[in-house]
Structure 1
């Protein structure tokens, strides 16, 4: 979904941002002079967080953790002094988009701009600097942060770019802002019907305004030239470098095409995949049946796993594409959009479950959350041998606006809520406007989920949000943005403890993707996936959690990132 210039830019950037070459391993390494934290025991609340200061690693796996006595037990191990730093298990993002992040790194970034004029100016400057581009692509605009909060229109872009099509994705990836050239290229006019699960916003005369919601985006996006596989691989390399710098050693990629799945296998075969990718098959991929028939895939080194299918229930709250049971509080005639029809949801659930794959169902609004829970319950009703789906670890992605009475059903049915803490701090300026004071009680309700017995798999939904996991940990614990607002936290009764938040980004995230037997904690027998950070999260103020910096990142005992100023 890029052009020649963008992908050549990736290639040149990759040359300067090459991944740190793995450090050759001796027969065994003894890491010492650090304070390490890890969980041990089972998933969820029945865990013990303990500290250690020595760790032995051999052949990429942890042999033992403990104290100075390990030095006597392993006298031939190579000594590695970590200079009094802090060690954590490698952090895991349970819901991100690796290819999307790689693409975004070379497109015009519109995140955080607080008015329409400045947004248009940045797009114009980017286009002028990149005259080779056939398409001007970007992402990150958010009209909710603008003074009027009104959607922009095609004329805003036409004034500065009318010779090339422009396609700008909203920050939540559920709406696009395009110019007239793009609309004409796609043949969109006042007679074009809204596609199922999408909407073409129109003016009073019925003409397209330039805003396309959810599936309507595809009317234009299908005309954007596809990148070559080599270009896609270069994008993934850029993305993984960025993620490793942030301390992420594993990502559950939330919806990959058959071609993108092959990218991960290709990179691993080349020896260029330096992190773990647990990829979800996109349910909309034409090859879904063949991929399900092939069964769950896992590489011998556990770098690549494909055992999950991602399907979309609805859109996003910011663009009013999230499907609600009752209308939007700030738009009484709008219920949102259901991307996948209910009858198709049922058929997909049955096919995916029977094939032995996890189900990951995107549900922002209370309607698709309820729909998914009902369909999961139906699976149990149709199989007398099942009283819970816990062993299958099916998931609902986002679980963002949920009826209060539906929250306990997640634990009762054995369904994992996959949630993104920074969504709350990004959405708090508009969420209650959208759903009102009553429904907000079941929104971003992490504490309610934990207290009802759920295990939360935490992530960021990058590039919708920034990928830094410490931003998510901070948001989960404080319910504040990184400016410390609101002072008391946004609905602070829904906050998590630091231990709960760290667990959701490590072992519980691993559990949600069936990788907990070999990742998620620093215990004997598991891979030595760990990070070295600059401060102790348990000894600093919660308000400073987002400031934690990663000094080095290790995957299977190999150093794959080191901060240059360490």
Structure 2
């Protein structure tokens, strides 16, 4: 599939005029010359002074005067005082969900069910009885310590406040949901409803549903919520990608594409309406979808607009909801834990065999130490060379790798398995994570530096929406191990932080490597796409990363965000 560059990234006439003014026919210059900025290339060697671009790719990089002589007719863009970095590759996102947040009640930061009621009243003051209200963002980790069935509060306050309006509320990380009585009734969830395989309906002492559903039981609720149509899904995707672009993200790995997502992303790509690049990871838990794609094979776009080449598999649950698979019981409330395998290990191994046969990358969600060990074992069985089959350039991944066994890093490095990790999760979980696993296991959790020292390839990403996700926030978390307010003082297990250059590499070049795109993305080098970000300050030297702003984002040499006025 080849997509027109100008169709994907249209420019106004004024933006591309070589002649002064906006009269006459617009002319796209053959070459652009970027000067004045501090360049962070993520390549070896001294920092260049200028970069030349033609047909969307970098054609030269080096001394400013040399390039000016070589390209005297180039359109010059001066970014004196700014810093230019390669476009950020956010290698684990849910862009459609980010776009859909505009129609959801934002519950990030609520502390209890009364807070949720207040937030809904503030954001949906004109709610119509009978019409669904959808929200997202309550923290299943924090709520699991509030008391009640399974550690969670009941949703009685929601039912009292909204007796005739069905309410379905997604948790921050997607491993639990809340519903009021009206929503439970519409979904047909009663005291007699059995727990589905891989899921738990939390219940009060009288057997009635408490209103909280863990892991796969959420489907019972959300299957009753009216579905979006194709146009709404496409709009949500575009809004999500545009939001990402405004923060300097030029490429994403969409994790867990459903069938309708694939249709929407493909339709947008065919019409040239994807604002940034997308590498798709299919929902590996959907057997019918995978059968279809194993039959057709990966989608490899020569222009790197929309590639679909990976499989995202949900294996276990989450640490916060105590549904992650742990080798030993949870340290705080083992009686309320519901360790969950959302797919059997045999099914994961079957997917791995098909992935290797048909040329797909595996990316498996694993949070607990038992889950991570199991997935590594599965990978070893599928990737180990034999007399007829050498080890492929697989670039298989483990998504999250939050809590691991003592031998995990050594085993992962031997297989060259990529650890796909989220600095925001470490900081978001830091208030309660040690309670869950205890003082010994916490030292093998969110262990970025230990992984790096062992030779494990690391990619940093956001897993948005949920925790703070902007790239400069991710970088701050990675290098300081503190929240945005600077707490805790001295950093949370600071010894596992990475330095700034290594963290930025994990967000750019290694992210491109994880999608088999490091020959065309992830650094500023001759022959690669001219995807770059203009920043207000240098993230490698600034005293504080948090105030750094994105002033412009470029994809294939074309600005896709407006530069703020001086």
Change (3 A) 1:241 1:20: farther
Gaps of 5+ in 1: 1-17, 41-47
Q: 1:206: Cα distance to partner?
A: 1.7
Structure 1 residue matching 2:37: 3-state secondary structure: strand
Maintained 8 Å contact 1:255/1:310:
yes
Aligned runs of 1:52-71 on 2, under 5 Å? 52-68=48-64, 69-71=66-68
Structure 1 residue matching 2:410: 3-state secondary structure: helix
Q: 1:283: Cα distance to partner?
A: 1.2
In the alignment, the residues of structure 2 paired with residue 317 and residue 256 of structure 1 have an alpha-carbon distance, to the nearest angstrom, of: 23
Deviations 1:78-119 (A, max 9, x none): 111123311000001110101111111221101023343222
Q: 1:381: Cα distance to partner?
A: 4.3
Maintained 8 Å contact 2:281/2:310:
yes
In the alignment, the residues of structure 2 paired with residue 548 and residue 460 of structure 1 have an alpha-carbon distance, to the nearest angstrom, of: 18
In the alignment, the residues of structure 1 paired with residue 229 and residue 165 of structure 2 have an alpha-carbon distance, to the nearest angstrom, of: 22
Maintained 8 Å contact 1:297/1:307:
yes
Q: 1:160: Cα distance to partner?
A: 1.1
- In structure 2, what is the equivalent of residue 404 of structure 1? 406
Deviations 1:17-54 (A, max 9, x none): x99846443100111111111122xxxxxxx2642220
Maintained 8 Å contact 1:143/1:152:
no
Establish whether residue 523 from structure 1 lines up as the match of residue 525 from structure 2.
Answer: yes
Maintained 8 Å contact 2:129/2:164:
no
Aligned runs of 1:530-545 on 2, under 5 Å? 530-541=532-543, 544-545=544-545
Q: 1:348: Cα distance to partner?
A: 1.6
In the alignment, the residues of structure 1 paired with residue 89 and residue 545 of structure 2 have an alpha-carbon distance, to the nearest angstrom, of: 17
Structure 2 residue matching 1:345: 3-state secondary structure: helix
Establish whether residue 373 from structure 1 lines up as the match of residue 370 from structure 2.
Answer: no
Structure 2 residue matching 1:392: 3-state secondary structure: coil
In the alignment, the residues of structure 2 paired with residue 553 and residue 197 of structure 1 have an alpha-carbon distance, to the nearest angstrom, of: 42
Maintained 8 Å contact 1:152/1:177:
no
- In structure 2, what is the equivalent of residue 107 of structure 1? 104
- In structure 1, what is the equivalent of residue 559 of structure 2? 559
Q: 1:197: Cα distance to partner?
A: 1.2
Change (3 A) 1:133 1:460: farther
Maintained 8 Å contact 2:130/2:166:
no
- In structure 1, what is the equivalent of residue 146 of structure 2? 149
In the alignment, the residues of structure 2 paired with residue 498 and residue 398 of structure 1 have an alpha-carbon distance, to the nearest angstrom, of: 20
- In structure 2, what is the equivalent of residue 32 of structure 1? 35
Q: TM-score, normalised by structure 2?
A: 0.92
Q: 1:563: Cα distance to partner?
A: 4.0
- In structure 2, what is the equivalent of residue 125 of structure 1? 122
Q: 1:130: Cα distance to partner?
A: 3.7
Maintained 8 Å contact 1:533/1:548:
yes
In the alignment, the residues of structure 1 paired with residue 289 and residue 525 of structure 2 have an alpha-carbon distance, to the nearest angstrom, of: 38
RMSD: 1.9
Structure 2 residue matching 1:545: 3-state secondary structure: coil
Maintained 8 Å contact 1:20/1:562:
no
Aligned runs of 1:92-491 on 2, under 5 Å? 92-131=89-128, 134-142=131-139, 144-145=141-142, 149-150=146-147, 151-285=152-286, 286-333=288-335, 334=337, 336-381=339-384, 383-385=386-388, 388=391, 391-491=393-493
Aligned residues: 539
In the alignment, the residues of structure 1 paired with residue 255 and residue 540 of structure 2 have an alpha-carbon distance, to the nearest angstrom, of: 31
Change (3 A) 1:39 1:386: farther
In the alignment, the residues of structure 2 paired with residue 205 and residue 51 of structure 1 have an alpha-carbon distance, to the nearest angstrom, of: 68
Structure 1 residue matching 2:527: 3-state secondary structure: coil
In the alignment, the residues of structure 1 paired with residue 90 and residue 178 of structure 2 have an alpha-carbon distance, to the nearest angstrom, of: 28
- In structure 2, what is the equivalent of residue 8 of structure 1? none
Maintained 8 Å contact 2:140/2:173:
no
My pick for the range that moved more, 480-489 or 132-141, is 132-141
Structure 2 residue matching 1:152: 3-state secondary structure: coil
- In structure 2, what is the equivalent of residue 45 of structure 1? none
Structure 2 residue matching 1:521: 3-state secondary structure: coil
- In structure 1, what is the equivalent of residue 21 of structure 2? none
Maintained 8 Å contact 2:142/2:320:
no
In the alignment, the residues of structure 2 paired with residue 212 and residue 147 of structure 1 have an alpha-carbon distance, to the nearest angstrom, of: 12
Change (3 A) 1:191 1:65: same
Maintained 8 Å contact 1:107/1:137:
yes
Structure 2 residue matching 1:183: 3-state secondary structure: helix
Q: 1:466: Cα distance to partner?
A: 2.6
Change (3 A) 1:366 1:411: same
My pick for the range that moved more, 505-514 or 113-122, is 113-122
Maintained 8 Å contact 1:268/1:304:
yes
Q: 1:385: Cα distance to partner?
A: 4.9
Moved runs in structure 1, 4+ residues, more than 6 A?
none
Gaps of 5+ in 2: 1-7, 17-27
- In structure 2, what is the equivalent of residue 15 of structure 1? none
In the alignment, the residues of structure 2 paired with residue 462 and residue 112 of structure 1 have an alpha-carbon distance, to the nearest angstrom, of: 15
- In structure 2, what is the equivalent of residue 14 of structure 1? none
In the alignment, the residues of structure 2 paired with residue 131 and residue 301 of structure 1 have an alpha-carbon distance, to the nearest angstrom, of: 46
Change (3 A) 1:49 1:427: farther
Pairing partner for 1:494 from 493, 496, 503: 496
Structure 1 residue matching 2:212: 3-state secondary structure: strand
